[in-house]
Amino acid sequence: SRTLSKTIGNQVYIPKRFLSGLLPTALVEGYSYWQNENDDIIGYEESKIAEDDETKEGERRSSTRLKITLLKDKDKDDSGFCNSSAKAIIQRAAFRDADPAIDSPDTNMPVLSLLDVRTAPPSSLLKRIGMLLSRLDNLSHVLIWSKSNLRSAGDAVSIDLVELPRVNLSFKAKKVEMIDGKVECRLYSNDHDGLYLSTSTDDLVSRMS
């Protein structure tokens, strides 16, 4: 355990193996996790300093942090083995300083909430996007984020950013109105200007897939 500051309070380290299968592998591998006294879990991005990194000694290094808010079920756990169940809201925020003891959120960057493809309804846009991207990489390495203010696990939200860290790809979701008046959600590449993935369920597109 550790106490970084009076504000943060006492934190207990959570080994990555305890989160394997509960969080996407991409997040388990990229962060170290500590649980606060209120049971919220904070993930601190693990720094990866490249050889060509020109950050000077003493200069601030930006990073991201995850906040995992547990929504505990009301059922009582009588087993005595910590078997109570809960849902979780996972949010990512940018920080100006990578030092975990310094609380310096970057207010110019949006707070993103992670969306779970597995629990999405079969015909939903989220499920379609997840199944489409599973052709590019395993879903444990596909991160779908929303800028919506998520308050509970079942809230209706927008899809704003898609990341595939292992293959170094990311997409911004945009809704485009077609000539016939239909609205299509497209995933525009952040890495290849003008290219996008279509999520249309049109029969022609389905035959071409």
- Find out whether 171 and 136 touch, Cβ atoms under 8 Å: no
| Candidate ranges 23-32, 46-55, 93-102; pick with highest mean pLDDT | 23-32
Q: Which residues pair with 184 in a beta bridge?
A: 176
Residue 50 has pLDDT above 50, yes or no: no
CA neighbor of 119 nearest in space, from 96, 93, 88, 163: 88
Percentage of the chain exceeding pLDDT 70:
86
Which whole number is the average pLDDT over 177-193? Answer: 84
The answer to whether the beta carbons of residues 158 and 144 sit under 8 Å apart is no
Query: Model's pTM, two decimal places?
Result: 0.82
Sole residue written with tokens 């550790």: 2
Task: Identify which has the larger pLDDT, 62 or 80.
Answer: 62
What the block records as the tokens of 82 is 């910590």
